[in-house]
Amino acid sequence: MMENEIDRALLEKIADLLGKPVGAFNIRKDCGCDGRQSTEHIEITGKEDKPGIDIRVKDGTVGETCHIPVIITKPGIEEMVYNDFYIGENCSVNIVAGCGIHNCGDKASRHDGIHTFYVGKHSHVHYTEKHYGEGDGKGGKIMNPQTIVYLEEGASIQMDTTQIRGIDSTKRYTKIICGKGAEAVVTERLLTHGEQVAESDLIIELNGEDAKGRVISRSVAQDASSQVFKPCVVGNAKCFGHVQCDSIIMGPATIHSVPEIAANSTEAQLIHEAAIGKIAGDQLLKLQTLGLTEEQAEDCILKGFLA
């Protein structure tokens, strides 16, 4: 596990790992398991019929973290992985995922992951997922994540997804189904550059009375990259939903933001808003008067925007 500097650097980037994780973990490297550990309250087992793992969290588990990062360090690898999460009742746990690709070859490296969450009554999950690519080869770095979440009564999920840099192509699909009193908060941060392309389809279905859903999307498109966002909140009962999309566009990049709200109940309260713009000149000027170069000022503004 973490055999070399490339492994260590990728794991630090995508999962904030320095050394062996504490608690439950499963580290996947180049289509195989590079390390696994269960705890008294969180059990991780490999699937027998297809690539992937099952994570089972016992009722009443509070304050534990489970790391499940994926790293690819060889060109030409293409994989589809299935991870299922079974969260018991009255839990509060952190799941830290993420994928890092180091590709210095001519063949594309690709990771597609399907994560399915079954969150029990009155449980809370904080799910963090970071994507990062590096390497000076011509081979592409491709990721296509899918996340499906089922929230039972009173359950909640806070999902933070970040594309740091270096991913040439990504298609993200997320669907969250909320029961009575359930709550879903999704914060999506995305940076594209060069000729990278990114698409994100996100649906939150508010099916139960007093369910809540919120989507916060922040993105930066640089150079000739392109982005498409399609967040949608559907209200099928007395509920509250809010979609907010803010993007910064630079150079010849393109951004399409298509927020949608759909009400199938007179008691549904839904709001959406979207904004796309460039960095304001007065912001750059103010930072430059403090001694920063234009490039440093832009970098400072972008880091703050995506924080």
pLDDT digits over 243-269, tens only? Answer: 999 999 999 999 999 999 999 999 999
Classify residue 293: in a domain, yes or no: no
The two tokens of residue 112 are: 């597609």
Give the DSSP letter string of 207-226.
-STTEEEEEEEEEEE-TT-E
260 assigned to some structural domain? yes
- The mean predicted confidence, pLDDT, of the chain is 94
Helix (H, G, I), strand (E, B) or coil at 302: helix
Q: Is residue 198 part of a domain?
A: yes
Residue 134 lies in domain: 5-280
Residue 223 lies in a domain: yes
The mean pLDDT value for 1-21 works out to: 86
Asked, for residue 286, whether it belongs to a domain, the answer is no
**What is the C-alpha separation between 207 and 180, in angstroms, rounded?**
7
Predicted confidence (pLDDT) per residue in 158-212, tens digit: 999 999 889 999 999 999 999 999 999 999 999 999 999 999 999 999 999 999 9
The domain tally of the chain equals: 1
Cβ atoms of residues 124 and 91 within 8 Å: yes
The Cα–Cα gap between 209 and 235 comes to 10
Classify residue 291: in a domain, yes or no. Answer: no
Question: Are 153 and 120 a contacting pair, CB within 8 Å?
Answer: no
Any domain includes 160: yes
Task: For residue 49, tell me if it sits in a domain.
Answer: yes
- Nearest CA to 217 out of 229, 232, 204 is that of 229
- Report the predicted TM-score, pTM, of the whole model to 2 decimal places: 0.93
